[in-house]
Amino acid sequence: MLFFNISSFYYFYFSATAVYVIFMPKVLLDVGYSASEIGILYALAPLMRFLTPFLFLKLIKLDAKVFKIALASSIIATSSFYFTIDNFYAFMFANALLGVSLSLILPYIEIIALKDLGKERYGKSRLFGSIGFMVIALVLAKFLSSPFIALHFFLIANIITVIFSIILLKHDVSHDDAASKKPFSFFKYWPFWLSLFFMQMSFGSFYNFFTIYETEHGVSLETVSYLWSFGILCEIVMLYFQGPLLKRNLKNILLFCLSLTVLRWMILFLFPESLFLTYVTQGMHAFSFGLYHSSVIIFLYTLYDNKKLAQQFMYGVAYGLGGFMGALLAGYLYGEYLFLSSAFFAACSLFFMLKVNKQVS
C-alpha cells in the first residue's frame, strides 16, 4: 500500500508539473505575455525554492505541521491562478507562493520514498511521476482550447496530490533528522553544488521555452506533445532499469549524463528544424534527467545526516536558484542562440563535476 500511495503522489505531482511546464508558457503567450515576462514569472517559483530552505537551517523545522501548511498554500496558490492570470503582478505573487509550497512538499516525500522503499524500488515508484507527466503531455494538447482548461487540469492534479500527501503523513520522518549531529555544509562539496546549479540552469530554456521554440520552427503543438512524451517514455525505461547502475561509481555516471546533456543542447541549437534529431535529443532525457536525478538524490541521501535539509537545498540550489537564473536568462536570450547558451551552462556543470573529489563515488 505504501508503494501505491507514494507512486500515486508522484503521478499527480508531476501531472501538475507537466501542465505548468509544457502548456502554461504557451497559455501565457496567448493571453498577451511577452517572452521576457514569461521568463520573469517562471523565475519566481524557483527563486522561492532557493530561498525557503535557508529558513530551515536555524529558524524552522520541516515537520508534519509545516508540511500541512505547505499543502494548504499550494491549493491556495493554484486556485488563485484563475483570477490573477490577467494581472502580471498578482500572478507573480501566486507563482511565488506556489514556489514556497513546492520547496517543502517534494523533499518531504522524497525522504519517505528513499527511507521506506530503498534505492532499488525508488526508481520504480518515481517512474509513475514520469507516466503522469507523459499522460498530461498527450491528453492536454487535444483539449487546450482556452487558458482555463489548463488551469482546471492544474488545480485538479494539485488537489489529488495533496490528498495522497496527507495519506503519507503517517510515515512522518521528522525523527530521522533529530539524530543529525554534523553541521550542514556547502563548502566541503562546493564543486558538486555548483555543478547542480549550472546543470539546472541549462534546463531553463528547455522547461520554459521548448514548446514555443519548436512551434516557431514549424512543429505543431500536438507533435510537440509527442516529443515531450517520447522523452518521458525514455525516462520511464531508465527509472525502471537503473537500479544496478546506481551501485556503480556515481561520479562517473554523473559525468556521462552531463556530457550527453551538452551534446543534447548543441543538437537543438544546430538543427532546430530537424524533427528526427529533436526526437534523438528527447531520448537523451533518460540520462540528462532520469539517471542524473536519481544519482544526485541517492548521493545526497548517503552524504548528509540531515537528509530532509539536504534534499531541500538540492531542490533549492538546483531547481530553485538554477531554475530561477535559467528561466530569467532564457526569457531574455530567447532566439537563435537559446540552446547554445544551454550547452554552455551544461559544460560549466561538467567542468565543476570533474573537480568533485572521490568521496562522491
> Average pLDDT over the chain, rounded to whole?
85
51-91 pLDDT, tens digit each: 887 776 666 677 788 889 999 999 999 999 999 998 999 99
297-329 pLDDT, tens digit each: 888 877 777 777 777 788 788 877 888 888 888
What pTM, to 2 d.p., does this model score?
A: 0.77
More confident residue, 72 or 173: 72
Range list of H helices, the chain: 2-18, 24-30, 35-51, 55-58, 64-84, 88-143, 147-167, 174-178, 190-202, 204-215, 221-241, 250-270, 275-283, 285, 292-303, 307-314, 323-333, 338-354
Q: How many angstroms separate the CA atoms of 234 and 134, rounded?
A: 11
The domains of the chain, with CATH numbers, are 2-360 (1.20.1250.20)
